[in-house]
Amino acid sequence: MIRVVIAEDHALVREGLTVLLELQDDIGVVGEAADGVQAIDAVARLRPDVLVLDIQMPRLDGIEVTRRLAATQTETAILILTTFDRDEYVFRALEAGAAGFLLKDVPRTQLVHAVRVVAAGDELLAPSVTRRLVERFMRTPAATGLLNGLTEREQSVLRLVGRGLSNAEIARDLVIGEVTVKSHLSSIFAKCDLRDRAQAVVLAYESGLVRPGEAHR
């Protein structure tokens, strides 16, 4: 069972998210928070697998909550859910340590999928967020020769990361285990000096492994 805490200052939205996730057989909402301070307290007390967190929160905003939780090295994955589709929020959330970023206008199935993905240890970016990453970083000169040190299988994994696939989906596509996918990703990050999955997506586009319009979803 995936244990979830929902941090959202609007009671109606919070209750709606709770009902939606509780309908899933493999997800249980173990706590709620109406502000950033309550969110940090709930994570400390309940140790959920996933914190679904709004950015615009009273007392402490979602960015600061993410930053403080990341500093404690909590194992709780943070999924940012917001109405604000602005670069500053996207990049600040990712830099703070969020595992995923979705807009509130996504279909319900995508939210449920995102909770499962980040709970499994993967990172997830909404398609619009991926586009913004690519648009921002492709304005800089593409790194040369970064792919030369990658094996053919590592390039295949990087290509699928760029297309937006999760680790589980990559494993199914390449007919390998998820542990093997994670091993390949660790090697890719080390060889290409990448910090996270967002940078891997950018590299996949910069290197030509993935072209605009080739996203998985």
* Domains along the chain with CATH numbers: 2-134 (3.40.50.2300), 140-206 (1.10.10.10)
> b/e per residue, 104-119, with b = 16+ CB within 10 A?
eeeeeebbbbbbbbbb
* Closest to 201 measured CA to CA, from 163, 160, 162, 144: 162
The encoded tokens of residue 61 equal 């905003």
Give tens-digit pLDDT for 85-122. Answer: 666 677 777 778 888 888 888 888 889 999 998 898 87
Tell me the average pLDDT of the chain: 84
3-state secondary structure of 6: strand
* Closest to 8 measured CA to CA, from 52, 43, 44: 52
Q: Is the pLDDT of residue 217 over 50?
A: no
State the sign of the Cα–Cα–Cα–Cα dihedral 179, 180, 185, 190: positive
